[in-house]
Structure 1
Amino acid sequence: INRHAVETGFLIATGTVVLHYFAGFGGGPKSIVPGLAGVQTIAANHSLNLDPLEDRPDPRVRIGVLGGNPVAEDIADAAGMVRVDLCVNTVLNRQGEICGLHAGALDAAHLAACAQAAALYTVSLDAQADLVIASAGTARNFLQSHKALFNAWQAMRPGGKILFLAPCPEGLGGSNFAEWLKLGNPESVIRHLRSHAEINGQTALSTLAKGPSTVMVTGMPPELVRDIRAVPAGTFQEGLDHCLAELRAGGTARPAIRPMPSASHTVPLPWDGPKAYHGAINTAPNTGE
């Protein structure tokens, strides 16, 4: 942990709370780890995203879940070793405006902000869709667009398709994200992450798992789209026609379609239902049952 933060006479942790795809939520203790942590500490924490026994993501690592999530619990444990005198966390609405401000002790302020963020951004679905049409809005690059793709994945049935609209005028983003993608498949990324854990590697793992289900309408060159294992489409209609043809070939002639025009700000509940979100507020362990 940064020496200045440890030795200061009064430490204030600030941040905005959003749902995070493997840390559960942002804000709160994440201001300490990874916010003020050294590279080795951050890498050790991110490595907990992987199942310790199998080459796969750890199923306990969930968006919007703190209790039982090994990444979130490690962050909380590490932050507990640092004296935080005041935590100030905000929650933003879909227009990026402050709609909530929570201040006080680190855990209390953070959990209050988590409760508001979960209420604001999560949605319950009556069924998963055959085809999800998702927009990343004005995200400047793919790394910023990834959360929209992740959320769309939550709304798609196994074997379904995602038509992903992500302009990405600045390309992939990230200093070495492209190198992680060139590993080509989730299994290779997992093996590399075991010894070289970092955030862009975690995002590459998530991306390469979702790419084969994705048709992407974007300003990125087609070769970059193929690097994320997705199918490039020049127009919305071309992408839609491709998705419908793939679904028909798989036996789905009249697909259920779900639009997600603000996919970056819409988090479908995990398909095992709201029970999995119980840990988001009171940190009760998530057993995955």
Structure 2
Amino acid sequence: MNPSTKIRKIDLPFGNGVIELKIPEKNLSELILPSEPKSREDESSIVKKALLDPIGSCRLSELVNPESRIAIIVSDITRPTPSAKLLPPLLEELRLGGVRDDNITIVFALGLHRKQTEEECRKLIGDKIFENFRCIQHDRERCRHLGETSFGTPVEIFEEVLDADLIVGTGTVEFHYYAGYGGGGKCILPGVSSERAVLSFHSFYSKLFEGDPLSGRVNSPARQNIEEAAKIAGLGFILNAVIDSKKRIVAAVSGDFIKAHRKGAEYVDTMYKVPVEPADAVIASCGGFPKDINLYQATKALENAVAAVKTGGSIVLAAECPEGLGNKVYECWSRECKSPDEAVERFRENFEFGGHKSAIVGKAAKEFRLYMVSKLSEEECRNTFFTPVGTVQEALEIILAENPEARIHVMPDGGRTLPVRKEP
């Protein structure tokens, strides 16, 4: 690199730390950043205001009585939901309605994810709440059948949730590759559903993943399926957060699980949809832990980055992945599918939960050159259709060796930011 070249230093989140990228300013096309609020309103105040002004519902304290049994669904360790900040105001609102603490059960929604350790549970909701309330983890083997959605997905919900008089869902509204957005009724399906229900829910993705992107669409088929299931299950109230790149709560919504969620989606769009002109390459961080806890989660940043790159260009994904690929089926497909074409074709013919991640990366690998900076082994990277590189700097040097004039976008929060191609 020419000593006289002006260099821009950019910190990229990586796990719980950061890695530094030094990029020539002449090659930096755009630093794709969200439009986050500049003011720093107290997070607790934001949550309390949301609970005081629910959308499409009366206040939570007016929905309960002293005998009400409450199930509060919270996110698991793979999600950035600030449950420890959401729960105290939520519990106070329930107490205002007369609900006793011993009638409240906090349920960790696992979907098909692994069980959590006690330490992880405590970290998510705080020691005080963990010690003073009944806290349990979703068990997909203990679900009751309630019917089916119009999509044919069985509605089978964790019995401890169904035994409550009122189901309260918490979560984070953010872009989701399949459901359009996280949050809302997603705490029910797939959150606390049976394995059969979750697999049925995901099976439709094989019919949709090669079409237009679903992320950022409030009317995606998956979202419709989710909301039908949540209605059948009786989801009575939600409290959802919108968080910034520092994982601070910048907005919150409460109330009806559809109407409040839509308002949350509006906040997300304003902050995180970024119009871009496709560049020659994109260097994207997932945004750090937990979005890069494993490759299963990290692929969401890859999908977001796709819209910002010209066909045939390069995508560099910076994802720590301390827990590896994060899914046994994904690991199996990665060993067995010898090419991107094989992964995509296999997924077209045979949906298998976890295999969809292999197909997603395979689809991207057919259109772009994929590089990975992670703690995965070289073999794991290559099996998942990435070229392993030691650092983002090394990846940049490879790109510039091929095209010294390459225009490169950088996405420090690729798991949350959604580039949208500018209209010609």
Q: String of CA shifts for 1:118-165, please: whole Å, max 9, x gaps.
A: 22222111x101111122343333223222222222211111111222
Unmatched runs of 5 consecutive residues or more in structure 2: 1-155
Deviation at 1:214, TM superposition (A): 0.9
Q: Distance in 2 between matches of 1:17 and 1:111?
A: 9
Normalising by structure 1, we get a TM-score of 0.80
Q: 1:84 to 1:159 in 2, by over 3 A?
A: same
Please give the secondary structure, in 2, of the residue aligned with 1:35. Answer: coil
Q: 1:137 to 1:33 in 2, by over 3 A?
A: closer
Structure 1 segment 35-184 matched on structure 2, within 5 A: 35-51=191-207, 57-59=209-211, 62-67=214-219, 69-125=220-276, 127-138=277-288, 139-182=292-335, 183-184=337-338
| Aligned with 1:191 (options 346, 365, 384) | 346
Please give the secondary structure, in 1, of the residue aligned with 2:226. Answer: helix
Q: Distance in 2 between matches of 1:147 and 1:188?
A: 17
Unmatched runs of 5 consecutive residues or more in structure 1: 274-289
Deviation at 1:203, TM superposition (A): 2.0
Q: 1:4 to 1:219 in 2, by over 3 A?
A: closer
Partner of 1:281: none
Q: Residue 206 in 1 paired to residue 377 in 2?
A: no
Q: String of CA shifts for 1:104-128, please: whole Å, max 9, x gaps.
A: 1111111111111222222111x10
Q: 1:144 to 1:103 in 2, by over 3 A?
A: same
Please give the secondary structure, in 2, of the residue aligned with 1:78. Answer: helix
Q: 1:45 to 1:141 in 2, by over 3 A?
A: closer
Deviation at 1:187, TM superposition (A): 4.4
Q: Answer whether contact 1:181 1:227 (CA < 8 A) is retained.
A: yes
Q: Distance in 2 between matches of 1:106 and 1:235?
A: 42
More helix by share: 1
Partner of 2:72: none
**Runs of 4+ off more than 6 Å:** none
Q: Answer whether contact 1:214 1:231 (CA < 8 A) is retained.
A: yes
Q: Residue 8 in 1 paired to residue 161 in 2?
A: no
Partner of 1:19: 175
Deviation at 1:233, TM superposition (A): 1.9
Please give the secondary structure, in 2, of the residue aligned with 1:207. Answer: helix
Partner of 1:229: 385
Q: Distance in 2 between matches of 1:190 and 1:12?
A: 40
Q: Answer whether contact 2:237 2:257 (CA < 8 A) is retained.
A: yes
Q: Which stretch has the larger CA shift, 114-123 or 172-181?
A: 172-181
